């Protein structure tokens, strides 16, 4: 299964490449060691063949006394063997191994019978230099053997010289060398993996920084990402900044279009209201049309909301509270909002939310309103309480529906709480109605905290 993490994929590829390189290196080194050890053994076997060649006379007979004197040289160890095959038969180790078939060789000259006793030896043609030793392999009771073979041409025919040694003579030093070699390769593999991991951390650090900058843009603490990036990431940073600028422009255009539409509809609706002056039913319907237009324009304006906005909460609450206090001078309005709190909300939208809620509380309160705020993880909570009659639990959801009024007061159109709820929801927050500590209505907002 392919890893989903880019870091895991790159680390896996690095691990595979490093292991493959180390396996190839180990295989190559083992091959080189085998060749060197085999060449060393061949030289020792060739030296034995040279000793045996010195005991071969010109007529193909063997100098047994010389062989007996050199037997210790020809058998460096008990499991080393030798054999001489000439016109008069063969001599050598009694347990000589069985060799694999030799490659085809050119035919030997015909063998001549040995001279009769007392007769002069035939004219010697001289012993030629032995042919270059050739490798032979075979098998004995202890396993595979490695041999070297040479041929001497004499006046009576060819004499074959063979020296053999166990293949363990090659395998033992190779095994002894491979054990520390494999340990070194294992250490190198660990070092390569650590180096790859460190390299990946350095290589992916710009991507992590770019991710953090995008998060800051989303939370409103910055508007662009740094374009001073590595060559591979710079085009991405440029495109992200272009996208951010286009999003801001689209948001501004949407707000402007909503404002233009509101102004364009305001005059015709007002003119229509004048033409039906005196008709209470028509006037009521026109007022309702105006309320619906305002409600849906507010939704259109907030549909393109920028979630990366950041607005300090305390100043916004203070401004709205000052206006409400001047409109309702008999109310006691208390505000407890820490200065460090900020919300991921456009300033105009926040003012509209607070204005609707505080105006609604002021219209229903008897004598006091309290505004409190506190941090709650990644949320900022705002509570607005009044000491008015409140709303029954079974009517609170109904009070959030557009155009619904639960009182007969002349002020208000029934759209305040609905617009607030839509604005809060479009900014990723929630609105909850409950009973306050003094029996009145408690409106609690949970807004996204700005970093």
Its sign, for the CA torsion 342, 347, 353, 354, is: positive
Tell me the CA distances in angstroms from 307 to 342, 435, 448, one per residue in order: 13, 30, 9
Phi, psi of 93 (to 5 degrees): -65, 140
Closest C-alpha among 407, 443, 420 to residue 349: 420
Confidence at residue 340, expressed as pLDDT on a 0 to 100 scale: 92
The rounded distance, in Å, linking the Cα atoms of 257 and 251 is 10
Confidence at residue 170, expressed as pLDDT on a 0 to 100 scale: 81
What pLDDT, in 10s, does the model give residues 15-46?
Answer: 888 788 888 888 888 888 888 888 888 898 88
Confidence at residue 405, expressed as pLDDT on a 0 to 100 scale: 52
Write the CB contacts of 448 (distance below 8 Å, at least 6 apart in sequence): 307, 343, 344, 345, 378, 379, 380, 427, 428, 429
SS3 116: coil
Confidence at residue 368, expressed as pLDDT on a 0 to 100 scale: 93
Residue ranges for the chain with pLDDT beneath 70: 1-3, 73-76, 102-130, 220, 255-256, 258-260, 262-263, 266-267, 277, 292, 295-308, 402-416, 451
Confidence at residue 383, expressed as pLDDT on a 0 to 100 scale: 95
Tokens 């992916």, residue located:
204
Q: What DSSP line would sit under 200-267, residue for residue? A: HHHHHHHHHHHHHHHHHHHTTS-SS------TTTHHHHHHHHHHHHHHHHHHHHHHHHHHHHHHHHHH
- CA 221 vs. chain centroid, Å, equals 28
The rounded distance, in Å, linking the Cα atoms of 276 and 88 is 144
What pLDDT, in 10s, does the model give residues 72-112?
Answer: 766 667 778 888 998 988 888 888 888 888 655 444 444 44
Confidence at residue 408, expressed as pLDDT on a 0 to 100 scale: 47
């Amino acid at each position: 299964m392919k890893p989903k993490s880019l870091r895991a994929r790159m680390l896996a590829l690095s691990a595979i490449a490093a292991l493959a390189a180390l396996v190839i290196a180990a295989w190559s080194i083992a091959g080189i060691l085998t060749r060197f050890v085999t060449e060393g053994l061949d030289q020792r076997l060739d030296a034995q063949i040279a000793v045996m060649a010195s005991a071969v006379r010109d007529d193909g007979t063997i100098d047994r006394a010389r062989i007996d004197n050199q037997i210790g040289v020809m058998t460096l160890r008990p499991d080393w063997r030798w054999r001489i095959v000439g016109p008069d038969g063969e001599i050598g180790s009694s347990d000589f191994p069985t060799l694999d078939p030799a490659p085809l060789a050119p035919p030997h000259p015909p063998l001549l019978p040995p001279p009769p006793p007392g007769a002069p030896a035939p004219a010697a043609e001289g012993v030629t230099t032995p042919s270059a030793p050739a490798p032979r392999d075979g098998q004995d009771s202890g396993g595979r053997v490695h041999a070297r073979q040479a041929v001497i041409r004499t006046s009576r025919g060819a004499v074959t010289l063979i020296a053999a040694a166990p293949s363990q003579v090659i395998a033992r030093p190779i095994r002894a060398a491979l054990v520390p070699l494999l340990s070194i390769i294992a250490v190198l593999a660990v070092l390569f993996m650590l180096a790859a991991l460190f390299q990946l951390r350095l290589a992916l650090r710009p991507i992590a920084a770019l991710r953090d900058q995008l998060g800051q843009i989303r939370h409103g603490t910055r508007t662009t990402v740094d374009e001073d990036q590595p060559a591979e990431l710079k085009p991405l940073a440029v495109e992200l900044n272009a996208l951010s600028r286009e999003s801001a422009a689209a948001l501004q255009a949407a707000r402007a279009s909503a404002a233009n539409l509101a102004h364009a509809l305001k005059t015709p609706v007002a003119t229509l209201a004048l033409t039906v002056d005196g008709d209470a039913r028509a006037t009521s319907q026109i007022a309702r049309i105006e309320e619906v237009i305002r409600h849906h324009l507010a939704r259109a304006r907030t549909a393109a909301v920028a979630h990366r906005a950041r607005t300090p909460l305390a100043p916004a609450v203070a401004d709205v509270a000052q206006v409400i206090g001047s409109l309702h001078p008999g109310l006691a309005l208390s505000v407890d909002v820490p200065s460090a709190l900020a919300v991921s909300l456009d300033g105009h939208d926040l003012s509209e939310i607070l204005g609707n809620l505080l105006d609604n509380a002021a219209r229903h309160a008897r004598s006091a309103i309290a505004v409190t705020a506190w941090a709650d993880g990644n949320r900022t909570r705002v509570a607005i309480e009044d000491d008015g009659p409140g709303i029954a639990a079974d009517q609170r959801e109904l009070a959030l529906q557009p155009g619904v009024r639960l009182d007969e007061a002349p002020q208000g159109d029934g759209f305040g709480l609905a617009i607030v709820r839509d604005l809060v929801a479009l900014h990723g927050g929630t609105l909850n109605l409950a009973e306050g500590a003094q029996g009145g209505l408690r409106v609690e907002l949970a807004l996204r905290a700005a970093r």
